[in-house]
Amino acid sequence: GAVVSQHPSWVICKSGTSVKIECRSLDFQATTMFWYRQFPKQSLMLMATSNEGSKATYEQGVEKDKFLINHASLTLSTLTVTSAHPEDSSFYICSALPTGKYGYTFGSGTRLTVV
Amino acid sequence: AQKITQTQPGMFVQEKEAVTLDCTYDTSDPSYGLFWYKQPSSGEMIFLIYQGSYDQQNATEGRYSLNFQKARKSANLVISASQLGDSAMYFCAIQRPSGSRLTFGEGTQLTVNP
């Protein structure tokens, strides 16, 4: 139980285009979803925290107009990278905490390459 | 603010031997949670073990155990009987308050040699 499905697993897009990443909690309701970014051989850095039905809270230095987060339902949160540039190429991964559990469940991640 | 330090960028261990991955943390909060995650090359984050700051006993999950020394603010992960499939990046993380974001350490790349 407690599965978060993340799509796509990988995506290549042209510079200037937008990419949407979806995270769905399959068997639990995710009131809160955390979005992380990970550059090669580095740790996970929190980008933003999204709460169902309200605006996301972004970490310092993260452009909210570039990384649009929508959490319209208790089972779906999306991250849209707008006007992507090569420096946005990274591994993006979402996470949620199922009720009654200690371990945060992570999606499988999305490798974004902007060319 | 919370901080996690993993001082071992890479570790090597022979198959079937035990290995300890170090983790120290810094927080002024009395209540916090400590986590270990495994990240294989595929990128997924696999939850291994959790230790609450008020837990009296060290957490154990199968071959994983957490050596929790609260006074020293350390939460080392011990993997017993290493297997080739244990080769991965391992992250220590702290959470405070409960239900909030995780703060990760820099990770330790573990390689298990046959």
Peptide bond into B114 cis (omega under 30): no
- Does residue B4 surpass a pLDDT of 80? yes
- Does residue A30 surpass a pLDDT of 80? yes
- Does residue B98 surpass a pLDDT of 80? no
How many pairs of residues across A and B have Cβ atoms under 8 Å apart? Answer: 47
According to the model, what pLDDT value does residue B19 have?
98
Q: What SS3 string covers A50-77?
A: EECCCCCEECCCCCCCCEEEEEEECCEE
Instruction: Report residue B47: phi and psi, to 5°.
Output: -70, 130
Counting residues of chain B whose pLDDT is more than 70, the rounded percentage is 99
CA-closest candidate to residue B80, choices B13, B16, B8, B21:
B16
Q: Which pLDDT band, with edges at 50, 70 and 90, does A100 fall under?
A: confident
Q: Which two tokens stand for residue B111?
A: 């390689």
Name which of B50, B52, B105 is nearest A43 (Cβ-Cβ): B105
Those residues of chain B whose CB sits closer than 8 Å to some CB in chain A are 33, 35, 37, 42-45, 47, 50, 52, 91, 99, 101-107
Find tokens 């499988």 and name the residue: A108
According to the model, what pLDDT value does residue A109 have?
97
Those residues of chain A whose CB sits closer than 8 Å to some CB in chain B are 32, 34, 38, 42-46, 49, 91, 93, 95, 97, 102-106, 108-109, 111
CA-closest candidate to residue A112, choices A80, A66, A75, A71:
A80
CB within 8 Å: B102 and A93: no
According to the model, what pLDDT value does residue A36 have?
97
How far does chain B reach from its first CA to its final CA, in angstroms?
Answer: 41
As a whole number of angstroms, the distance between CA A35 and CA B59 comes to 27
B94 class by beta-carbon count within 10 Å (0-12 exposed, 13-18 middle, 19+ buried): buried
- In a mutational test of the A interface, the residue from B7, B36, B44, B45 whose CB has the highest number of chain A CBs within 10 Å is B45
Instruction: Report residue B84: phi and psi, to 5°.
Output: -60, -35
